[in-house]
Amino acid sequence: MTVAKMSWRPVYRSSKFRNVYGKVGGREQCFDGIPVTRSVHDSHFCAVNAKFLAVVTESAGGGAFVVIPVTKAGRIDPNYPKVCGHQGSVLDIKWNPFMDNIIASCSEDCSVVSGWYLCKWVGWYQVVSLLTSLLSNSSQEADCKSHRVNRVVFLGNMKKLATTGVSRWNSRQVALWDQEDLSMPLVEEEIDGLSGLLFPFYDPDTHMLYLAGKGDGNIRYYEVIPEKPYLQFIMEFHSPAPQKGLGVMPKRGLDVGACEVFRFYKLVTLKGLVETISMIVPRRSEAYQEDLYPMTAGPEPALSADEWLRGVNRGPVLMSLKASYKPPGQKATRASRQGRRPGPVHSIDLLENVPPKTHSELLRMFFRQEDELRQMREDLVQKDQRIQQLELELKNLKNNNSCS
């Protein structure tokens, strides 16, 4: 098998994701004042589910992290309670995919807390649960002579693997592998010469692969396709603020009405900030987009613990996102728009004063202006309805006065 190489002849492939763009959330959607950890461990330090955002923080005398409801964005109180239980720094945290109130954490002191249970508005309690270890039974080894692997991710039902790492010349790379034949990668692509680790994130519903560099502010995204060239570059999101780590919102927590297909929670250590980055597919229609939201994995487990220990294998229990669809309404009030101006400039706001230099920046500006125009039209329709309502009330008032 030979590694696929790019042809000199441009290949045009129609894709519904070719115009996906990243949109940074406003100040009212960010979490400010969080003392993000300064650990240099190669971890995300952040975990998100449909209810809570968890961030590993700086702490004296042991490791700690904070848990904040995703609906409570804004400035975080300096005395906000932390979850403590490790003697060393917390290295990683992960939410239970089936129970939104349970999170696991691990630490430098080699301890693993299998579950922290959050009782609403009461406190945190450690619960006893069954600890299981991941058994790896690999019958083949990948040939990585020209690609030193740092991270690997399974590509769902595509029967492929994606790895990120560095080449012999220390250039960052991404490679795609056939999971049935690891003798040679299907395709290799050099990204750049930066030294930060590349974190891969895969969306099995849209077959999109996101590559986020630690220490830089860029997020590249590709579409994984079954035929050559296997990895189709779409666009790159730019931001001047370096990212310490990233959390990903599960599909059931996305804004379906805004055609949001992915959402990152980005840690900015220097600012003590967690900002949202929404990946949006621009659509003119405000109806539910079924092609963007197929049946996805839900919060119900497909197996019990006993079944898993017996070796039973079963696919995930799927759910539809149509029930959570809400038509896009007025999302920005007058007060929030006024409060946004004096705040710090986010990466997407740089386009207001700087002309676009690349095709991707021009597309982001174009689609953002379309969103603003749509919002203005909705505001005008609501104002017209309000005017008609006031005119009717005034007419009724006049009629009552004339009758009296």
Q: Give 10-residue mean pLDDT values along the chain (404 residues).
A: 47 74 89 89 90 89 87 90 85 90 85 58 32 38 68 87 87 89 87 86 93 89 90 89 91 91 92 92 86 90 87 88 75 42 40 57 75 81 83 79 68
Residue in this structure with the two tokens 């005034």, named with its chain if needed: 394
Do 266 and 352 fall within a single domain? no
Q: How far is the C-alpha of 203 from the C-alpha of 292, rounded, in Å?
A: 12
Residue in this structure with the two tokens 């570059």, named with its chain if needed: 233
36 DSSP 8-state letter: B
Q: How far is the C-alpha of 310 from the C-alpha of 127, rounded, in Å?
A: 24
Do 87 and 186 fall within a single domain? yes
What pLDDT shows up at residue 266? 94
Q: What is the pTM (predicted TM-score) of this model?
A: 0.72
What pLDDT shows up at residue 4? 52
Cβ partners under 8 Å of residue 397, min gap 6: none
Domain membership of residue 2 (yes or no) is no
Q: Where are the beta strands (DSSP E) in 269-357?
A: 273-280, 296-297, 318-319
Half-sphere exposure of 78 (CA within 13 A, CB side): 0
Closest CA to 62 of 101, 32, 105, 31: 105
Domain membership of residue 15 (yes or no) is no
What pLDDT shows up at residue 31? 93
Closest CA to 183 of 148, 152, 145: 145
Domain membership of residue 184 (yes or no) is yes
Question: Angle 355-359-361 (CA atoms, 0-180°, nearest 5)?
Answer: 50
What pLDDT shows up at residue 338? 42
Q: How far is the C-alpha of 92 from the C-alpha of 54, rounded, in Å?
A: 10
Q: What backbone torsions phi and psi does residue 278 show, to the nearest 5 degrees?
A: -100, 130
Is the Cα dihedral 83, 85, 90, 96 positive or negative?
A: negative
Structural domain including 343 reads 334-403
Domain membership of residue 6 (yes or no) is no
CA 157 from chain centre, in angstroms, equals: 21
State the total domains in the chain.
2
Do 252 and 341 fall within a single domain? no
- Bridge partners of 333? none
